[in-house]
Amino acid sequence: MINNYSRFAGYTPLDELMIVDIPISVIISARNEAKNLQHYLPFILEQNYPDFEVVVINDCSHDSSDTVLEVFQEKYPHLKVVTITEHDRFKTGKKFALTLGIKAAKNEHLLFTDADCMPASPNWITRMAANFTTPAQIVLGYAPYNKSKNFLNPFIRFEAVKAAISYFSAALNGDPYMGVGRNLAYTKTLFFSAKGFASHMHLMAGDDDLFVNQHATEDNTIIELHPEAFTYTDAKTTLSSWYKQKKRHFGVGKYYKSEHRRMLSIDAISGYLFYLLLIICLIFRFEPILVLGIFIFRLILQIVIYSKTFKKLDANDLLWYLPGLDFCYYIYINTFGLLATFIKTTQWK
């Protein structure tokens, strides 16, 4: 924890809003997202940025997405729509849709989000694009979940924050291994030089984390953590929808580079064993004072480090539930990690 997260705990994003005019193409793949497009797309189309287009791929939608997009096109000339129609013999996935969107984009620098995401401010594009004034080819942004009173919400947010701390820390330590497609940017040159998603096109998921895992390096990757650069989305509200989402995500973890699988496995297994041995020692009353002392020491260490990182990631309220959330997290991460060995995802929506 100290070795991996300390640098991130002390990291401070650039507060100054730079003047940037790098042409940007914002790319959104949407399947049956009429309601979300109606609500969220204006916040993207009306960003405070001098030179950008928004490319929406209407991926085989059978709702009113086409009508919604047609209305928006009349009002916003910088909106470009790419339509994919359903084919009986050829089933497409998100990677195919994104590839068409990238080809249709007129600009070199690409910024990705989802149809159900809302930028935290009108300066989202500016904050993300400013990182391309450096040699960076990949920009890792942050995409938190909105707070709600749903019983799943604290844990879903905690899991997302834990993942963010891990991959942002790794990037700062010179070993980036993943990003999230709800807030991610990279260059068109990098995409085509890497042959796009060709190496994992057969997988329904992984358009974001697998692409970053395969092509991010210490020299070409940078992070953006200013609160104005966040993109927010609603968390799942039912166990079935959340399970479906996590099944898709965990199904690609086994395709990460071996050193990254090993790093994530060590964290998951060591956390699980800590709680398992804690419970066993307490049940059999093996040095209970010493055992509780170790637990309290670890908890204090977590609070010291997490108080800084959780504040950066808009999750300060979760610190109050840290012991319970952390325990559930390691049970969950190991259970899903085991299930991922047998998971095969066949659809992205």
Q: What confidence tens digit (pLDDT) does each residue in 176-192 have?
A: 999 999 999 999 999 99
CA distances from 66 to 34, 47, 346 (A): 8, 22, 25
Tell whether the model's pLDDT for residue 18 goes beyond 70: yes
Question: CA-CA distances (angstroms) from residue 21 to 67, 129, 131, 263?
Answer: 32, 8, 12, 39
Q: Would the pLDDT of 91 be above 90?
A: no
User: Which value, to the nearest 10 degrees, does the dihedral of the CA atoms of residues 277, 282, 284, 288 take?
Assistant: 110
**What are the φ and ψ backbone dihedral angles of 272, each rounded to 5 degrees?**
-65, -45
Look at residue 141 in the predicted model and tell me its pLDDT. Answer: 98
Is residue 205 pLDDT above 90, yes or no?
no
Mean pLDDT of 96-112: 97
For range 240-246, the mean pLDDT:
83
CB neighbour burial string for 240-279, b if at least 16 within 10 angstroms, e if fewer = eebeeebbbbbbbbebbeeebbebbeebbeebbebbeebe
The pLDDT score that the predictor gives to residue 88 is 62
Contacts of 45 (CB under 8 A, 6+ apart): 54, 72, 76, 78, 79
How far apart, in whole angstroms, are the C-alpha atoms of residue 315 and residue 294?
26
- pLDDT of amino acid 159: 95
Looking at every residue in the chain, the average pLDDT score rounds to 92
Helix, strand, or coil (residue 145): strand
What per-residue confidence (pLDDT) applies to 63? 92
In the chain, the percentage of residues whose pLDDT exceeds 70 is: 96
What's residue 345's pLDDT?
54
Higher pLDDT, 90 or 236: 236
Reported as a pLDDT band with limits 50, 70 and 90, residue 344 is low
d(CA 159, CA 156): 5
Please check the confidence at residue 295 and state whether its pLDDT lies above 90. Answer: yes
**Residues 6 or more apart whose Cβ sits within 8 Å of residue 223:** 139, 140, 141, 168, 171, 172
Please give the share of the chain, as a percent, with pLDDT higher than 90: 84
Q: At residue 77, does pLDDT exceed 80?
A: yes
CA 308 from chain centre, in angstroms, equals: 20
**Buried residues in 89-99 as b, exposed as e (16+ CB within 10 A):** eeebbbbbbbb
- 336 pLDDT band, cuts 50/70/90, is confident
52 CB-near residues (< 8 Å, 6+ apart): 23, 24, 25, 26, 78, 107, 125
d(CA 142, CA 182): 8
